[in-house]
Structure 1
Amino acid sequence: MTFRPLAGAAELDLFRRLPYLLDDELADDLAQGHRRPEWMWVALDGERLLARAAWWGRLGAGVPSHLDILDVDDALPPDVRVDVGADLLRTAMAATLTPGTALPEYGRYVPPGWREEPAVRAGVEVRMAVAERTGAQFFVERLRMEWRPGTPIPAPAGAPAARLAFRPPRDEAEIVALMTDALTGTLDAHSRADLTRMPPEAVARTHFEDELARYTSPRAWWRVAVLPATGEPVGFVLPAHNGYNPIIAYLAVLPAHRGRGRIDEILAEGTRVLAAADAPRIRAATDLGNTPMAAAFHRAGYANFGREIVMTWP
């Protein structure tokens, strides 16, 4: 058995012998620099592809940020699948990742009802077992949401005087300050984990700089929700384009204004902004355990089209 990285983009057909929904993006990702052949590994028995693993990275970062492809040949016996996958992943991690640094998390997209389909569930659990064999642990399951054109955007409820007004953020500092405030009582698993290591302002600034500031879509899309009478901020929504899809990149109601249904108006405004920009679809995600946010997306006409299993290494 041979474990090795791809020799180049010419080996994409070999890599794609094991199917996954990200396969159609691989060629563009390689061309743009989100992937590199040395981040894409295969386990071969002669010409047969037994397993594969690949990382994705931010443009210009020079290091991968997510393990998002991890597959084994489902025709192999279950125990052999886990052994081969784990051996490949250990070898690839040792050659690809920098010793002593935090390991990129692993994310696997799965169907909404993956637990109810025996074959699908078995495949997901084998891949989770491969990651676990190398020391990874389950972190969170996330709902993947989608809004499509033609879906009605809910109108603001209540009397006009009680509705929110929206304006662009004044500057980056205001967004970071609002994000910091919104972290109080957050139900987001990543934010909660970050808060065990950093103060709220550092968590907000890191997320802004590592994620939000990198989007090249117009910041004119961003909205701060305020009370019309006083101008006091109530929450905010950051519509964006992540290079693959229009998205609701961040959505929050500030702690002092929660529990009053404000999230519906704020999400509707973010949806309206992207719909006005002729978005062919709008994607969003929230943790399975964040039931208030999930309910808001459902009320706004977003459908749950998939889930993501996220695993991390200590």
Structure 2
Amino acid sequence: MPVAPQELTVRPLTGPDELGLFCRLSYVLDHELADDLATGRRRPDWMWVALHGERVVGRASWWTSTDGGDPLALDFFDLDDTLPAQERQEIGVRLLETATAAVIPAGAQRPEYGRFIPPDWREDAAAREVVESRMRVMEQTGARMLVERLRLEWREGTPVPQDSGRLVFRPVTGREDLVALMTPVMEGTLDAHGQADMATGIGARKAAEKHYDEEFAGFKTPQEWWRIAELPSGEPVGFVVPARNNYHPIIAYIGVLPAHRGNGYIDDILAEGTRVLAATGVDRIRAATDLGNVPMAKSFERLGYVNFERAFDMVWD
């Protein structure tokens, strides 16, 4: 039976005790929700449901990295896929617009929307409809596609790459040490988020500082894990940031300076970041790279990383 607009209730959760209600629809990150609520990375008033009677026909939630922070990402947006496409679209738009108006202050930049998707989603008709139905709702509310990314994983038991001896690695000594090298890497970057920052006209230095302050500065794992790669002469070649975020050990960022691209150093630098994390006894290392960044994707593949998933990010200008 069609869901009439007047019969639809759109509201936030009243508290953590309604998590079961929120989980009547499913997504690959459901297992993180309880801990996110407990640690303040998620709040009940950021978690919204669309209800037809007692039936959950849509849900959305924002996330932040630290307790008390502003919403940084819209990372849950699900619809009842048994409903006809047009109904889903109408429910999705109403849910998203109602929840956004309540959660995001008027005039503030809307956080980007990101979703994890199967690696073969284009070839699987059912998966494709799920993905594209979410995209259509976002587009109707003014969002546009920014990037599709490969999500990659190094798994315990995969050979740990050996040091080729071509480069010398040293720990990063502080913010300026890394930002100074990130700045030239931003010029001509293949990373869509980096390109988007550069397109605002803030310049490579400010783009590097923004990336450092918004992501790297929040890592609680030792900065001594971060590595600068140099030639035996001491000339810097690139860097890698192995870390652990709130959920996984990760290769957070990797870069080769423009003057040294094309020499295969990316494999040496990625290998060092992998060695740093593997030495801590982790059972997996997560990473991601844009679908269009073919050199980086091939490097991950050569070093034994598996493409287990994809993701896409959409933004509101």
Deviations 1:98-150 (A, max 9, x none): 11111100001001001110011111111111111111111110000000011
* Equivalent residue number for residue 292 of structure 2: 289
2-side partners of 1:39 and 1:303: how far apart? 33
Normalised by the size of structure 1, how large is the TM-score?
Answer: 0.97
- Could you list the runs of 5+ residues in structure 1 that have no partner in the other structure? none
Shift of 1:171: 1.8
Q: Is the 8 A contact 2:163 2:272 kept in 1?
A: no
2-side partners of 1:311 and 1:62: how far apart? 21
The secondary structure found in structure 2 opposite 1:44 is strand
Shift of 1:240: 0.2
Q: Is the 8 A contact 2:10 2:49 kept in 1?
A: yes
1-side partners of 2:127 and 2:98: how far apart? 27
1-side partners of 2:173 and 2:242: how far apart? 16
Q: 1:169 aligns with which of 169, 172, 181?
A: 172
Determine whether 1:255 maps to 2:262.
no
Q: Is the 8 A contact 2:160 2:278 kept in 1?
A: no
Shift of 1:60: 3.8
Determine whether 1:202 maps to 2:206.
yes
Deviations 1:176-202 (A, max 9, x none): 111112112110011011011211111
The secondary structure found in structure 1 opposite 2:122 is helix
Shift of 1:37: 0.4
* Equivalent residue number for residue 124 of structure 2: 117
* Equivalent residue number for residue 232 of structure 1: 235
Q: 2:189 aligns with which of 186, 191, 198?
A: 186
The secondary structure found in structure 1 opposite 2:153 is strand
Normalised by the size of structure 2, how large is the TM-score?
Answer: 0.96
1-side partners of 2:243 and 2:116: how far apart? 21
Which residue identity lines up with residue 249 of structure 2 in the other structure?
Answer: P
Which residue identity lines up with residue 8 of structure 1 in the other structure?
Answer: G
Determine whether 1:39 maps to 2:43.
no
2-side partners of 1:71 and 1:131: how far apart? 12
The secondary structure found in structure 2 opposite 1:116 is coil
Determine whether 1:4 maps to 2:14.
no
* Equivalent residue number for residue 23 of structure 1: 30
1-side partners of 2:69 and 2:146: how far apart? 26
2-side partners of 1:218 and 1:170: how far apart? 11
2-side partners of 1:65 and 1:222: how far apart? 24
* Equivalent residue number for residue 3 of structure 2: none
2-side partners of 1:201 and 1:124: how far apart? 36
2-side partners of 1:180 and 1:60: how far apart? 30
Q: Is the 8 A contact 2:11 2:50 kept in 1?
A: yes
Which residue identity lines up with residue 70 of structure 1 in the other structure?
Answer: F
The secondary structure found in structure 1 opposite 2:157 is coil
The secondary structure found in structure 2 opposite 1:224 is strand
Q: Is the 8 A contact 2:248 2:285 kept in 1?
A: yes
* Equivalent residue number for residue 246 of structure 2: 243
CA RMSD of aligned residues (A): 0.9
Deviations 1:208-254 (A, max 9, x none): 011001000111111110111x1111101110000100000110111
Between 57-66 and 190-199, report the one with greater CA deviation: 57-66
Q: 1:77 aligns with which of 84, 97, 107?
A: 84
Q: Is the 8 A contact 2:78 2:134 kept in 1?
A: yes
2-side partners of 1:111 and 1:273: how far apart? 29
Deviations 1:267-311 (A, max 9, x none): 000000000001110000010000000011001100000000111
Q: 1:222 aligns with which of 223, 226, 234?
A: 226
Q: 2:113 aligns with which of 103, 106, 115?
A: 106
2-side partners of 1:28 and 1:118: how far apart? 33
Q: 1:91 aligns with which of 90, 93, 98?
A: 98
The secondary structure found in structure 2 opposite 1:85 is helix
2-side partners of 1:61 and 1:257: how far apart? 42
What is the number of equivalent residue pairs in this alignment?
Answer: 309
1-side partners of 2:53 and 2:173: how far apart? 60
Deviation beyond 4 Å, 4+ runs, structure 1: none
The secondary structure found in structure 2 opposite 1:114 is coil
